Amino acid sequence: MKRLWAPWRMEYIGGEQKPGCLFCRVIEHPDDPDAELVVWRPEGALVMLNKFPYNPGHALVVPVAHVPGLETLDDGQTTLLMRALRRTIDVLRSTLNPEGFNVGANVGRAAGAGIPDHVHFHVVPRWNGDTNFMPVIDEVKVVNEALTQTAAKLREAFARS
């Protein structure tokens, strides 16, 4: 039997859950350890990598406002969020060269929202052939680059663009 080692996952599985909203903590405290995954802080929004990505470059685009749904954002907040979302897609496209994207927001716990009180978009870069037997046979997804390396690449790309 072959084994797939991912010891860093134990921090998530057995680690203590930090109180409060992840996004608000990172927005308000740039020195928080989870802030190492922040790649851009535009006006009215935050862009960070998903700590447990579906694919390399899986980004979260978050409004600064702590609200549960898109319908609770005002027009100005919505505009800033959409600008951040659009630029995130542009930067991911130019940096990682994906062939497509899945973009969406899970609104509410029943819709699969992991952080139901703070709406956010997932931007998942996709490549033809990026699925294989691992998720089907072993319920494992292979991500081929360390998050810190991807974060450094994207920070540089956001700074250039």
Give dist(CA 6, CA 4) in Å, integer: 7
Give the per-residue pLDDT at 136.
Answer: 46
The answer to whether residues 95 and 157 touch, using CB atoms and an 8 Å cutoff, is: yes
CATH number for the 20-160 domain, one of 3.60.15.10, 3.40.640.10, 3.30.428.10, 3.60.10.10? 3.30.428.10
Give the per-residue pLDDT at 99.
Answer: 97
Give the per-residue pLDDT at 114.
Answer: 87
Residue 146: is its pLDDT beyond 90?
A: no
- Cα distances (Å, whole numbers) of residue 62 to 20, 85, 138: 16, 9, 31
Give the per-residue pLDDT at 78.
Answer: 98
Residues acting as catalytic residues: 120
Give dist(CA 90, CA 12) in Å, integer: 30
- Range with top average pLDDT, 57-66, 129-138, 143-152: 57-66
Residue spans of the domains in the chain: they are 20-160
**What pLDDT, in 10s, does the model give residues 87-97?**
999 999 999 99
pTM of the model: 0.84
**What pLDDT, in 10s, does the model give residues 19-47?**
789 999 999 999 999 999 999 999 999 99
